[in-house]
Every structure is written in structure tokens, then in C-alpha cells.
Structure 1
Amino acid sequence: MKKVNNILLLLILFSTSAIGQINLKNGLVGCYPFNANAKDESGNNNNGIVNGAVLTVDRFGNPNSAYRFDGYSFIDLPDNKFSFDNYSYAMWVFVSDIPTSGNSYRMIAIGGACGDQTLALSYNYFNAVGFDFGVYNKPALANTPLAIGTLPEIGKWYHLTAVRDDLTLNLYINGVLAKSVSSNNTKPYYGCDAVEKARFGIRNGGVQGFKGALDDIHLYNRPLNAAEVKALYDGNTPPTITITSNSASPCGGDKITFTANGGNATSKYLWKIDDVTQTSSSKNLDYTPTKKTGDYQIKVAVEVTDGEPCFPQDPSKKEEIFTVKDCVESDKILIPNAFSPNSDGVNDTWEIHGIKNNPDVIVEIYDRWGELIFYSKGYSTPWDGTYKNSPLNEGYLCLCGKI
């Protein structure tokens, strides 16, 4: 057994500060990602009832992830749940057809006879052309159309957001403010019926049915600001993913831990090694490469999807090539003089190379005052820089260890 005394270690611990983020869940009263159903994923149980609408592909090409409407089909929402003085409607819209002159298609309508709040596609309907934020106001009960003035292209997806507050009506297209008018300090009028209906794909009364597809609809009981609208639109931007390993020069026959960096708490992971799917679905993958004569390479790939149904992202994919070494085993123990237990997936533990060839070895680590803070026989689990399950204090620690 080889003994090494007075090992000097430098532990560098990093602290991170939280980055403030826009809270798109604030005021969310209905969320409809249309993942094979019309369930409300906001937690408010405002589930939709499908009447003739058919599941179709979404803007990412995923099957059964949006609903297609034929001008007669629609989705009913619970009654009397969406009547607010201030509100926001946001949705992805695929245009399959343009209404004839003098007509309008309604993507959402909330209200009843005499008046409602709608988001539509119009063509010379009360002089409105293009995407149209149409509302009724009180006390005058007048209709205020807010249209962008140009017709959209057929066969394209658009993100629309309609926002009403006490002073203005705003219509955003693909995250950018397209039109704004004053609401003249009026309140929304939801009609003269005792029951206020809410529907996707058609207007109350079964008229002005939409022809196209809808997806990822968000309904709010408050007005969104421009930054929040942009964040909703940018929700499909995938994060940048990197792959790291806990060993810069892994040896064949030794376990390697690969880590996918850049996801979030709800992300799901699909790992592949040389195109073979692995069992891990977490951000970390433990893998033991085959020991071979001579060095060789392996291809490590990961696909990261966001598990948050209300704010989906396009899957992120990353692929890296790692070289597996043909390591020659010896009785020589190599002890690194530093490691960094900062949970970044690189050098997080004190790896002592060659120690596995000495199964009876005893590893003891002491602090500068001579107190034993780590003990292991065989060293099957490398030290992670903690003492009694707590990280050691930040800063420079001079530790003495013996083997």
C-alpha cells in the first residue's frame, strides 16, 4: 500500500444568483396545448368539449397536437368563466381559407346575443380586413373592430394576442404590436343572454365558423404587457444544450457520467449512444463504455423537450463525440491536487486514478485542524467535498489526506 501525505487541495465553490423571469402563469385562467385533447392545463379545470374539430399536426409537425376546424366544428368552454373587464387572448392560428368579402371567421368568441369579445379573421366585415380584434363595449353597446388591414397568407402559422385594458385595445401579430386603439374608458359588453358562452372556432349562435387550425391557446384575466406577449411568442425557441462528462479522458470499462446542460426543472431527456436509445430520462446519463484494444470514439446524443404543457418548446438536440481511452492498468496511484465540487458535471468529485487496483486501501481526509472529515476503505465512492452531508465552507481549505 502506498502512502501519500500532506495533499494540498484547493476547493473552489461558486455561487449563482437567480435571474428574474416573466411569470406567464400569473392570471392564466385557461391553457389549451391540445395534446390529443382539449383539456385545460392551467389547473382551473376549464376543460373544452370538442364538437367536430379534428386533431391535426402542430407547427412543429407533431401529430395530434392541434385542432383543425372546418367552418362548422367548434370547442365549447364552461359558461360564465371568462367575462373580465381586462383580459388577454393568445393563440397560434393556421390559416386554411380566407372568408369571402363581407364575412368573418371567429377563432374565439366570448359572450352571447347582442354582444361579445372576439378574435377573428375578417374580409371587409364592417370595414375590417385581416386579423381582427372585435369587441362590444358598454354603455353604448357599440362594436369596435381592430383589424390590421391586410389579409394573411394561406398555409402559414401566426401567433395572435388580443389585449384589453381600461384604456386601450391592442392586437399583436407574432409578438409585435400590429394595431392599437383607445377603448374610450368603456367596459366590455358580453351580451344580453343570461348565460355567457365561450367557444373556439365559431361565434355564439353557430355562425362565422373558422377554417384552419388552432393551438396553444392562453386565456388571461389581466392585460399582458409587450414583454409578456413577446415571451409567449418566443416560447417555441429551444434552449441551447451542451453535453459534458465527468472525465476528460474516460477509460474503457470505467463508468462515465454525461450531463445535458441548459434544460429546466420540467425538461425531459432522450439519450442515445451510437444511435442506441439509453434508459435514462434525466439530465445525467451513467454509461460504461466497452474496454477495447486501442482508443475509439463514441457518439453521444441527447434530445431535450420541455415538460411544461402550457408553454411548450421545440425539442433541442445536441450531439458530441467523445474519445474512450485504452487505459493500461497499473499499481501506481495518481492523486489530483484539486477538484471543483460545484455541480457543473466536471471534476465534481476527487477521483483518485488507479486506486481500484488496491481494494483494501484506506483513504482518510483531515482538515487543517486535524479533524477527520472523510474515511473510506476501498474508495468505491469518490469524495464530493462535503462533510456530514453539507458542503464545506466557501474559500481556500488546506486539507491533509493519507492513503
Structure 2
Amino acid sequence: MPTPTTNDTTQDFCQSNNPTIASLQVNQSTIVWYDAATGGNVLSSSALLVDGVTYYAGIIDPVSGCSSTTRLAITVDLKTADSASIDDNTDKTCDFEPVTYSTQGNMSNYEWTIGSGGQIVSGGGSNDSTVTVNWTQLGSNSVTVSYLNSSVCNSQETATFNLVVESCVLPVDGCLTIFNEFTPNGDGSNEFFYIVCAENYPNNKLEIYNRYGNLVFQTRGYKNDWKGIANVKGTFNDNVLPTGTYYYVFETGDNTVNQAKSGWLYIMR
């Protein structure tokens, strides 16, 4: 009897699919599988494949019942995706202090779920392996991510990161950091113009100007809730401002030491 043939002597399978010996590819029928190149034991076609194991195929003559003298060897490689995980960049989660969470990169269809009281500052989209969150609610909370690992069996992986938000005293140099870009497009991610610690200055004042120097937005007691809508009476009142570069002036309004910051910001819709 001739030796069986195959298109691939090292065959890959997804372990999650529970492949069996019947899953092995050969070009002939009437195959019997063994656990050795000669002699050995006959294996059931329903037996689960084992990673790294070599299986041996012989052709059975339907008339004589004899098996081929030389057996075909096929080695199995079972693919298993690594479990998803989430890491943060801090030892302590403080309210009103953005924290970046990251998961495995180079995946697809990311879906981030943020617990109540969490506001996405940046990232968190379907192509993002990171998300930066500003927590406004104290106590237990969580961040969950799921993604598709298309390089390993198109497996869907999910992880949840549990955390506790605390009330912290931010270092002076941590406050008044300004995130210059935001995307108020209604997808729930990075919707607001964000200034770290703005809430700590109840008498603060924020002014936004367009590139022509026209005032388009102003408010006192800013609470990180501006979505790029003008509020200046006249031409710009209630208008949704278009994509582009604008300029901000922020004053803390502190009676002791009034701090002021100014610079550019970019609205992307």
C-alpha cells in the first residue's frame, strides 16, 4: 500500500474549537491513525488533538485489511490566544485625576466600558488599546475591555479591571493640565474640553476665541462640560462650532493667587 499524503505535515488548529484526529487533513480515505511510526496503538478519530504531538497515518487496503508499510507523520500545533488584561499607570486612583488604562495592542474591534462617574478624556475607541478616564465618583468602580484577536483564531477576549476611586490632594504641578484636543461627536469618547482640577476653582473663568479673535464661548465656574457649542449672543449664539483650531484663556479666580493659562485647542468632529 502507498504512503498517505497531505498538504501540510505541520497542521495548525484553534484549541478553542476542540479539534479531533478526524480534523487532520490527508488526501486519502480509509485512513487509520497510530501513535507511533511503526507498531503502536490505533487511535480513535474522535480523540482530541494534543499540542506538539505527532500522529501517524496509514492507508488500509479494503480487500486485505493490511496497512501501508510507511506511515505519514503529521505534527499538531494548537493555537491559543493570550487572555486579555488591563494595566493602569498609577498606584492610586484619585478623583479628578485622569488615569490611562492599556490592554494588548494590535487587536481589532476594541470596546471599552467605563463604570459610572467615569469620563473618557482620550482614547477608548474601536481602534484604541488605551483609554484615559477622569473619575468624578468616589468608591468602587471598574473598566472593561473586549477585543477581537484576528491573528489567533479570531478569538474574542475580555478583561475587567476593578478599582477604588479615592479623594486625593493633587500635587500643584498636576493641576491645570489642559487636554488641547477633543472630539464632541456624540460617541461618548473624549466629548469635553478638559482642564485638570477645574472643579477645584469654583470662581474660575473660561473664554474661547476663534482664529479671528472673536469670542465664541465664555463661562464662570467651568466644570469640564463644554462640548464645542458657542454661547456668545449674536452671530455665534448656540452654534455648534466647526472642526478647527481655537484659543482659550482660563483663570482660576482664586482670591489669593489667581492663576491664568492660555493656548490653543482643537475641535475634531
**TM-score tier (shorter):** 0.3 to 0.5
TM-score by length of 1: 0.30
Structure number with higher relative contact order (C-alpha < 8 Å, ≥ 6 residues apart): 1
